[in-house]
Structure 1
């Protein structure tokens, strides 16, 4: 028997959970394997996370898959990651759709191979009518880049009075609710340019486990920690 939430806790499950899937390379290196094997192991855990999130009643799950800074890694590792995206997106779209999952992508298309962009469009199109859970894959994503892109779009549209509500319209996924909870695996304690604008009031949870070792019980534990917190959004508890 794994961990489970009480009925009272289920009523307070976060709507949107974001995960920084860190530690794949270190997981592989500690086992004497090439770093790309850690990414292979990490991709398999995505299915576990999506199913667990759906079971918990989480409506949106966003995964930091490839940051705009990850291009600095070795050519072999970057090429291997792109190969993984191609394979798993094509292979898993039908399964995601059958399980009621919608697929969306967040990030800049600049620099992505044409066939990767085509596969991304295919995944979004094939799952567009699904609504049980929305999986957001952040690919070539950077929070600062998103903010700068949004400002550029607003300027090009001639917006002069830019308030928060108006600014949101120019984000990559303007209808996506802000993450209630952001989880980072791998033992590091920083958000690394993830959902910078959207995470202003997100609860943060850091796990020492590498992403390939992060399982359903670990997600449940993170959600349990979240529901026990008192979220005041800058106010004072009365």
Structure 2
């Protein structure tokens, strides 16, 4: 994968999105339409990750978050979960060094306690290896659920208040934000969902307060670098007022 130089502004000088998040949906349907196994759909979907990274680098995005495995996905059939974890291990084993050479930082957000110990160790290794890279931060939401994230944040703050380290008056929007997995990551400017579905599915609920949304009919395995670039162009055409009058 060859990454071109980033483009941070349009010809008119309008800045593009700093953070793009993607709900990668449609692997199963892509496979079903081709009468092949769901595991093959997931494998092809993993290849589309490269296209998204290429698009992010080309358009000058600083942060790219991919919803890889939700907290609800643990309820899927055992064999499907096993296949997904296998793809994750394969990605960590084969792609991280390539990301590192390209100057890409890898982060993982979510509940790691449910992951196998070897996967947790590999994630820690990958994060450590790439922590000083700055070309793009690739964030993988893994075993992630936004409601669980907010509950954990509230629990952490409540324990601090109960211990006398903080006061109720200290609980502000900023304090809650600082207790989330994404406390040091800017909120997403643009959230893309593939497959035509139009819902967040427990993804970045707090962080999406002022995000722009784009729902694409393309299934995730067919997502291309050009789809990403086109999505950024659509974002640039929108008028973001953040609640202010036009």
TM-score by length of 2: 0.92
Q: Does 1:43 align with 2:52?
A: no
Partner of 1:111: 114
Contact map agreement 1:5 1:224 (CA 8 A) in 2: no
* SS of 2:126 mapped into structure 1: helix
Are residues 209 and 9 of structure 1, via their aligned partners in 2, closer, same or farther at CA, if it must alter by over 3 Å?
farther
Contact map agreement 1:9 1:224 (CA 8 A) in 2: no
Contact map agreement 2:214 2:231 (CA 8 A) in 1: yes
User: Unaligned stretches of 5+ in structure 2?
Assistant: 1-6
* SS of 1:110 mapped into structure 2: helix
Are residues 204 and 119 of structure 1, via their aligned partners in 2, closer, same or farther at CA, if it must alter by over 3 Å?
same
Q: CA deviation at 1:23?
A: 0.1
How far apart, in 1, do the equivalents of 2:114 and 2:13 lie? Answer: 41
Partner of 2:4: none
User: Unaligned stretches of 5+ in structure 1?
Assistant: none
Partner of 1:233: 242
How far apart, in 2, do the equivalents of 1:108 and 1:174 lie? Answer: 15
Partner of 1:187: 196
How far apart, in 1, do the equivalents of 2:245 and 2:15 lie? Answer: 20
Partner of 1:13: 16
Q: C-alpha root-mean-square deviation of aligned residues, in Å?
A: 1.4
Please point out which of 135, 143, 166 is paired with 2:146: 143
Contact map agreement 1:18 1:182 (CA 8 A) in 2: yes
How far apart, in 1, do the equivalents of 2:10 and 2:116 lie? Answer: 46
How far apart, in 2, do the equivalents of 1:5 and 1:125 lie? Answer: 27
Q: CA deviation at 1:8?
A: 3.0
How far apart, in 1, do the equivalents of 2:240 and 2:11 lie? Answer: 17
Are residues 211 and 123 of structure 1, via their aligned partners in 2, closer, same or farther at CA, if it must alter by over 3 Å?
same
How far apart, in 1, do the equivalents of 2:122 and 2:236 lie? Answer: 36
Please point out which of 173, 193, 196 is paired with 2:182: 173
Partner of 1:52: 55
